[in-house]
Each structure stands twice: as structure tokens, then as C-alpha cells.
Structure 1
């Protein structure tokens, strides 16, 4: 079994419990937030999705003592376009309460970063204040991805559709995804290669689709590289979580488009 298989197996158990026990909450106040799509298309500088995560299967413990709302405020202060909150507990030590706390602290869009396999997770994401959810092409068959995509749209949630190869990109395009995340990390081996973004972006109309490069972006040189490929956004997790100087980290990565 790959790491992704292991995570999805555990997620299926979590969703089964969620279906039994989840109590719908009153919808949180909808902040006057611009859509991720519009923010990214209109920006003059590289858009950063700054991630809050304590741990990961590939890196182990990263920042176990992070205070999510405080970290979120710092991200917003230094120029994040969107904040990603990892809400998977078994593998990343994140919770939905982290997301709710960040929602209270900031006014920019929030991505619920999780392994979505069921509509109930979308309902929960909306209840807790997310604006964007993640769908991973490698996680589900096309028909389920389409059903979840439509459900998210009905809930007024934007979808970051994550792909890693040409076949997955074709699925995203057939479904109609207008925000595509290219994961430079192979979710089966967890190896990272920025050439994946360079290769796949040539197959995307970047005038109509927001392309986000995910994983392995640490330096200005990395950002310049994916910018040349036509990327308008980057998702940065570990580099942000390990940074002792967030102002400098943002300055290094937020280059002019």
C-alpha cells in the first residue's frame, strides 16, 4: 500500500463515524471575501497559499506548538492570499477546530486541506468557515470526483483540484475545474520534482484557469521557475511552518508576476 492508500483507508473510517455523529452547525457568518479565482487572476504578485500544519507523513513533526489563529494572522499580515488549514489528525495532527479558529482570526479565504471522499466533509467544511476545499484526483474515481465537485459548487465552495500527471489533469479538465493545483510531490512515493509543474502547465490554458504549484517551493529561484511556466499561485507549508522570519520568507516568495 502507498502512503495515500493508507491515509484514504483511515479517512474512510473517519467519514463513517462522521456520518453517524456529525451535528450540523449554524452556518458561520459569511465574510465579504473575494473568490480565490478572482484574487489570483487579478494579482500583480505571486499569490501564496500559506499552510498551517503541525506534521506530515514525509517530514514527521514540523511545528507541534503552532497557534493556528496567531499563525493565520501573521500569514495575512505578510501578504498571504489564502490560508490553507490541514484538518487531518492521524497523519498531520490538524483539526476542524483549527480551521474554525483561523476563520475567526482572518478575513482572507481559507482552504480546508484534507482528503475529501464524501459530501459530509464538504458540509462540515462549509459549517466551519472554509471557502475552498481540496479534491485530489489520485484519491477517487472520476465519477465520484465529479459528484463532489458539483456538491461543493452547490455549497458555494471553490474547489482546488489537485493533479500530479497528465491523466489526472485530463480528469480535472473534463470535470471543468478552473483552479488546478499541480502537486510536485508524488503522493505515492512522496518524492518532489518542480518539473512536474513545468510539464503539466503547458497543457493548461492559463488565461482561463488558475494554476497553483504545490510542494517543494522554498526559494525565490523556485518561484521564478514556476512563474515562467505560467503559475499564478504557490502553496507553501513546511517552509512557512519552519520559518523564523515570516516577513522575509514572504518577501522572498512573493515575486512580481
Structure 2
């Protein structure tokens, strides 16, 4: 049975061909790389990777009225440790132009969020100013994941590797990744549960990697829950893109405390 993920990857294969035929996208944006790992090492509380996301395959249009630069500036002003920018056009209405514009407007690290299956996509991310990229274990074989991880590192990029279960986490082992994202969303069914972070947290932390909890985080209690499980950071898009009071929402997320942390 064809899934949304299958359709996305099929479109990515077509996109890779187009990118290889189009060299102007590789006009480099000269930037000094910024480190999310360093920010996490110095963080006193849970880090927020704030995402600019107009749409998604599961939710449709989330918010297509916001401008990426304006939103990113507000994210940074309100304490975001990094900005995530969707660059997929077909399913998320993003672009490398969004990434480039955001990177020039903020001082925090910028993540290129996409379904990366080929080094040419990493070249495009790097040339557009990305400081780090996302690799998704669900769509890559172990040797592909290792190759793309090493290629990104050779470009001076940090890499957030996303997993959803123990089998995918096993693929991460040979990379030595310092950033592991647990996606609470199953990319085949699109079912979301914070149970996934709670289940995988100990195994992720045992590798020495920083744990980022992704998807399904809408309320302060959600942040408290994943923080209690061991998350060092959260990646949040929809809740921030829909917020009517972004400053307050981000403040609530930043001030979330685990039960043990409360007086």
C-alpha cells in the first residue's frame, strides 16, 4: 500500500535529478558555521528548535500568511536555540530561498529540514547557509545514512538524525551522531504519541547523544513530559505557527519544569 512517505520519497528522487541539472542553486552563501551542539552543551534549560512550516501532508495548510524572516526573528527574540526551515516545496510549501533568507536574518543555528536522500541536497543546504541538516533513518539504509552523515560533516555541517523506533536507532550507531531526534510521529501512519520519546529516551541518551523530541508538542505539559523523559531539546513547528501569542507560547515552553524541578 502506498503511503504519504512513499510519495514524498518518489518526489525527492525526481527533485534530485532536477537539482543535479541546475547549478545556480549552488551559489554559495558565505557564512561561518554555528553549532547547535555547543548551544546544547551550554544550555541551562530545555532548548527550543523553532520551525517555520507553512504546511504538511498530514495537516494541510498550517499557516501560509507568515513571512519566514519575520517569524524567525521573533523566534530568536523569544529564546529559540535554533531555527528549523522546511525546504520541501511539494508537500510542505518550503524552499531553499526560505532557508537562505532566514540564515541571513538570525544569529542562531539554522536547520535544513527535508527528506534528504542524496549528497546534492546537502550541497544545496550548505550553499544556502544551513548550519545543520536532518537525516531521517526511516528513509535510508544504514550504509546510506552513514555516507550522507559523513558527507555532511565534510561540508562542516552538524547532523540531526531522526528515529522513531529501536530498529532505526540501531542504524545511528556507526555514525557516532551527537544529535538524535526522536520523531513522535510515525511517518507511515502519521499517528503521533509522546510515548515514543519516553520509550526511546534511555537508549538514545546511553549513546552520549543529545536528545531532541520532535512532533506532538503543543502545550507546556507536553514539554514537561518529554523533558522528564530526558529530552535536551524540542523541535516545534505547528504550535508556534498557529500561536496567537507567540511570545507567551515560547515563554511557557522555555519555563516548563519537570515534576522534580518544581518547589
**Structure 2 length normalisation: TM-score?**
0.94
- How many residue pairs match? The answer is 256
The within-5 A match list for 1:218-257 is 218-255=218-255
Q: Is the 8 A contact 1:50 1:235 kept in 2?
A: yes
The within-5 A match list for 1:188-227 is 188-205=188-205, 208-227=208-227
Cα distance between partner residues in 2 of 1:242 and 1:73: 16
1:22 is aligned to 23
Query: What runs of 5+ residues in structure 2 fail to find an aligned partner?
Result: 258-263
1:116 is aligned to 116
Moved more, 202-211 or 178-187: 202-211
The within-5 A match list for 1:92-241 is 92-205=92-205, 208-241=208-241
Q: CA deviation at 1:3?
A: 1.1
Cα distance between partner residues in 2 of 1:250 and 1:171: 33
Q: Is the 8 A contact 1:180 1:210 kept in 2?
A: yes
Q: CA deviation at 1:65?
A: 1.7
Deviation string 1:94-137 (CA, Å, 9 cap, x unpaired) is: 01100111011101100000010100111110100000100000
Query: What runs of 5+ residues in structure 1 fail to find an aligned partner?
Result: none
Q: CA deviation at 1:40?
A: 1.2
Q: CA deviation at 1:2?
A: 1.3
2:13 is aligned to 12
Cα distance between partner residues in 1 of 2:12 and 2:76: 30
Q: Secondary structure at the match of 1:168?
A: helix
Cα distance between partner residues in 2 of 1:76 and 1:204: 27
Q: CA deviation at 1:208?
A: 2.6
RMSD across aligned positions (CA):
1.4
Q: Secondary structure at the match of 2:204?
A: coil
Q: Secondary structure at the match of 2:15?
A: helix
Pairing 1:84–2:118 present:
no
Q: Is the 8 A contact 1:223 1:255 kept in 2?
A: no
**Structure 1 length normalisation: TM-score?**
0.96
Alignment CA distance shift 1:217-1:82 (3 Å):
same
Cα distance between partner residues in 2 of 1:205 and 1:90: 34
Q: Is the 8 A contact 1:193 1:216 kept in 2?
A: yes
Q: CA deviation at 1:242?
A: 0.3
Cα distance between partner residues in 2 of 1:32 and 1:100: 14
